């Protein structure tokens, strides 16, 4: 076999082997697909006006834990200077988290927040915005929420 032919054959064999290995790995990676959804909620204050908003892009891999995608602006924002700050919370199958961030109208664009669950990504993830110091699970709390299942 000529020297140039041998090199071409060796290169072609190496590329074919690499592509075959890549093709075998792709189906396994497809099972680990991440599903993301943006959730939003707005709570009214005691005068019936928009009191606070929460926005978060929640991601759940096929296995593992849920989290807020840090490639998006996840925030809680207070809309009224009424003395009741907006606070963000998360509840999932593994527990209650928060407040993750608090905004009291001192910032114009809201307060950024991040979150990552302690457990598996299965089950519903509910994101809350509440006004004042009560938690979403407290009686008489003023909250709104949205969820991703």
On average, the pLDDT of the chain sits at: 82
Per DSSP, the residues of the chain read: --HHHHHHHHHHHHHHHHHHHHHHHHHHHHTT-EEEEEEEEEEE-TTSSEEEEEEEEEEEESSS--EE-TTS--EEEE---SS--EEEEEEETTEEEEEEEEE-SSSSS-EE---B-SS-S-S-EEEEEEESS--TTSTT-EEEEEEE-
pLDDT at 148 over 70: yes
pLDDT of residue 11: 45
pLDDT at 68 over 90: yes
pLDDT of residue 105: 84
pLDDT of residue 107: 66
User: If you average pLDDT over residues 51-57, what whole number do you get?
Assistant: 97
What span, in angstroms and rounded, lies between the C-alpha atoms of 118 and 95? 8
pLDDT at 59 over 60: yes
pLDDT at 56 over 80: yes
pLDDT in tens, 76-131: 999 998 889 999 999 998 889 999 999 998 667 899 999 999 876 668 999 999 99
Q: How far is CA 130 from CA 40, 45, 94, 102, 143, in A?
A: 13, 10, 21, 10, 4
Identify whether the C-beta of residue 146 lies closer than 8 Å to the C-beta of residue 126: yes
pLDDT at 16 over 80: no
């Amino acid at each position: 076999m000529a020297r140039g032919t041998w090199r071409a054959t060796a290169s072609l064999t190496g590329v074919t082997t690499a592509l075959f290995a890549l093709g075998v790995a792709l189906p396994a990676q497809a099972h680990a697909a991440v599903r993301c959804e943006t959730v939003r909620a707005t709570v009214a204050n005691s005068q019936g006006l928009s009191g606070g908003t929460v926005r978060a892009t929640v991601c759940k891999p096929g296995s593992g834990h849920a989290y807020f995608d840090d490639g998006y602006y996840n925030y809680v924002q207070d809309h009224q200077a009424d003395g009741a700050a907006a606070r963000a919370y998360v509840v999932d199958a593994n527990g209650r988290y928060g407040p993750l961030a608090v905004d009291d109208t001192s910032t114009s664009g809201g307060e950024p927040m991040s979150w990552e669950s302690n457990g598996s990504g299965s089950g519903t993830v509910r994101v809350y915005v509440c006004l004042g110091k009560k938690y979403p699970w407290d009686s008489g709390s003023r909250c709104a929420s949205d969820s991703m299942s």
